[in-house]
Amino acid sequence: MRCMVLISLSFALSAQDAMHLTLAGARRLATDNNPQLGSARFSAAAAHQVPPQYRANLLPSMTGLAKGVGADSGTRLAAGGLNNPVVYSRLATGVAASQLISDFGRTRELMASSNLHAQAQDQTTEATRADILLTTSRAYFAVLRAQAVLTVAEQTVSARQLLADQVTALAANKLKSTLDVSFANVNLADARLLLAQARNDVASAKADLATALGVPRQTDFILDQEPTPDAPPASVDPLIQDAIGNRPELKSLRLEQNAAEEFAKAEHALNYPTVAAIASAGVVPAGDAAIARTYGAAGVNVSIPILNGGLFRARQSEAELKAQAASKNTDDLANRVIRDVRVAYLNAQTAFERIGLTDQLSQQAQLSLDLAQARYNLGLSSIIELSQAQLNLTSAQIAGASARFDYAAQNAVVEYQIGTLR
């Protein structure tokens, strides 16, 4: 009695340790815990800090100044430049301000380019999220599939154990040969090997699911069954259109292409003048008598590029070529997306057809086993025929147990390929 209580307590503790999940809950847990998505979100947030950096160039800037100089009265700087300003001993404080008036749109083009790049990073985050959801979905259905195969393996061991016991009893009464006993035991051993492999597959699938969920120390799960998805649509064309419009990778590349085009415009604007207003004011509390106690000045600075060794032309050409390369990359990804959608659609169609075919196979295998069992009991056939019928039924049951979960996983792949996996 005490042993039974301990066993019950152990089972209860084990059940408490198991994590109960639905598919939606698993996906939510994965997106909350997966560090790859966290990294992608931080990268996107960092990208959104670049546009304000360019925008700052359009706003006034002001700098506080303080200077103390000791020099021989009236000393002039005689080398190092074309000018020779007079240097006086002084102690002065003040402020300097500047305001960009016009750079012919270069700063605004840089802002537009960085904004588009930040939006592309947002789409990269969505792509990372979709990858995590697909990995989680596959791992979830892999666990359900492995558990279904484990159930088949347990039933197979039970059925073959019963047959081995029956044949052994008949052989003891000289009604069956020891050859029959040997065949029955071989089939039983094969079933036990299948059971051992099935248990290992369940444990491995749970380990993969734990990693996908971001809880690697969790070793046991109780998963809810998910309804079988609807049949694939009659045509792949609507799926391709959805993929072209929804895939975050394509959205990201399109935005990067637009960002490259805007940057090329900004590089072209380097050839135009830059106009800025500058001002400075302050006080000189102590200094040479030749220096006034206050000062102030304002002006406009115009910078006109004339010769720079072809630097600006090369930068513009580089930016334009990169924009063209981004356009080709977008076209290439679109082609690969179309291919991936077609392949995923065909795989889903085949997986869906396998559900009905494996059901028929299981029915026929069960009928074949019933007939073989009857013939063996009547002594009209050998145990070899019965063993083959058992093997056929086991294979059919495993195929049937796997088919529904394989289709569910393939359907998740289709949703991923068309950008609708949530």
Report the alpha-carbon distance of residue 316 to residue 322 in Å, rounded.
10
pLDDT for the residue 72:
79
pLDDT for the residue 141:
96
Report the alpha-carbon distance of residue 197 to residue 17 in Å, rounded.
24
Report the alpha-carbon distance of residue 16 to residue 74 in Å, rounded.
89
The stretch 97-114 carries a mean pLDDT of 94
> pLDDT tens digit string along 316-365?
999 999 999 999 999 999 999 999 999 999 999 999 999 999 999 999 99
What phi and psi values does residue 169 have, to the nearest 5 degrees? -65, -40
The stretch 86-95 carries a mean pLDDT of 89
pLDDT for the residue 67:
87
Taking 80 as the threshold, does the pLDDT of residue 3 lie above it?
Answer: no
The answer to the question of residue 212 being in a domain is: yes
Report the CATH number at residue 183.
Answer: 1.20.1600.10
Which pTM value belongs to this model?
A: 0.84
> pLDDT tens digit string along 207-235?
999 999 989 888 899 999 999 999 999 99
Q: What is the mean pLDDT of the chain?
A: 90
pLDDT for the residue 235:
93
pLDDT for the residue 383:
87
pLDDT for the residue 287:
84
Cβ atoms 402, 409 nearer than 8 A: no
Cβ atoms 68, 90 nearer than 8 A: yes
pLDDT for the residue 18:
87
pLDDT for the residue 236:
95
User: Going by DSSP bridges, is the β-strand pair 221-223/19-21 parallel, antiparallel, or unpaired?
Assistant: parallel
Higher pLDDT among residues 288 and 97, named by residue: 97
The answer to the question of residue 65 being in a domain is: no
The answer to the question of residue 169 being in a domain is: yes
Report the alpha-carbon distance of residue 310 to residue 322 in Å, rounded.
18
User: Going by DSSP bridges, is the β-strand pair 274-287/294-303 parallel, antiparallel, or unpaired?
Assistant: antiparallel
Confidence band for 81, pLDDT divided at 50, 70 and 90: low
**4-8, 218-222, 418-422: range with lowest mean pLDDT:** 4-8
pLDDT for the residue 353:
95
The stretch 387-398 carries a mean pLDDT of 90
Q: Which residues contact 147 (CB under 8 A, 6 or more apart)?
A: 202, 223
Question: Percent of the chain, pLDDT > 70?
Answer: 95
The answer to the question of residue 367 being in a domain is: yes
The answer to the question of residue 83 being in a domain is: no
**119-128, 237-246, 370-379: range with lowest mean pLDDT:** 370-379
Cβ atoms 326, 260 nearer than 8 A: yes
pLDDT for the residue 2:
41
The stretch 358-377 carries a mean pLDDT of 91
Report the alpha-carbon distance of residue 24 to residue 186 in Å, rounded.
44
The answer to the question of residue 114 being in a domain is: yes
> pLDDT tens digit string along 124-156?
999 999 999 999 999 999 999 999 999 999 999
Residue 336: which domain range?
20-59+103-270+310-417
The answer to the question of residue 3 being in a domain is: no
Number of domains in the chain: 1
Let me know how long the chain is. Answer: 422
Confidence band for 178, pLDDT divided at 50, 70 and 90: confident
Taking 80 as the threshold, does the pLDDT of residue 74 lie above it?
Answer: no
Question: Percent of the chain, pLDDT > 90?
Answer: 73
Report the alpha-carbon distance of residue 146 to residue 196 in Å, rounded.
12
pLDDT for the residue 330:
95
Give me the torsion for CA of 351, 352, 353, 354, rounded to 10°.
50
